[in-house]
Amino acid sequence: QSVLTQPPSVSGAPGQRVTISCTGSSSNIGAGYDVHWYQQLPGTAPKLLISGNSNRPSGVPDRFSGSKSGTSASLAISGLQAEDEADYYCQSYDSSLSAYVFGTGTKVTVL
């Protein structure tokens, strides 16, 4: 059972903005550990999308943005495109578990 909770699914029309929440606790996000986000296209390995809460690795479009506040983090996708249909996972470290932990995952559907 994951300690980082995400909505199972979000959807939006092309061009719209969607956000994905990642809710943790005082032993992970709330303790100050960084949150990272991954995009997993169908049938492929996850790819780092946002690192260190809000930083985009080279090559990631600026349509993707991340933020963190308190015990939660969020990923926003603006100007939604068909190729954004994928599963998205947040990730952090949990000091109570002494383990890196992933969110439950969110499937983004472009209507």
Q: Which residues bind another protein (CB under 8 A)?
A: 2, 33-34, 36, 38, 44-48, 51-52, 57, 89, 91-93, 97-105
Strand partners, 69: 72
Q: Minimal distance in Å, beta carbon 89 to another protein?
A: 6
Please tell me whether residue 82 adopts helix, strand or coil conformation.
helix
Residue nearer to another protein on the CB measure, 78 or 104: 104
Q: Minimal distance in Å, beta carbon 13 to another protein?
A: 27
Type of residue numbered 48: L
Q: Minimal distance in Å, beta carbon 111 to another protein?
A: 23
| Cα 5 to the center of its chain, rounded Å | 10
Tokens of 105: 């995952």
Residue nearer to another protein on the CB measure, 16 or 91: 91
Q: Beta 106-110 vs 9-12: how paired, if at all?
A: parallel
Residue nearer to another protein on the CB measure, 14 or 57: 57
Strand partners, 87: 40, 107
Residue nearer to another protein on the CB measure, 27 or 104: 104
Tokens of 59: 């090559």
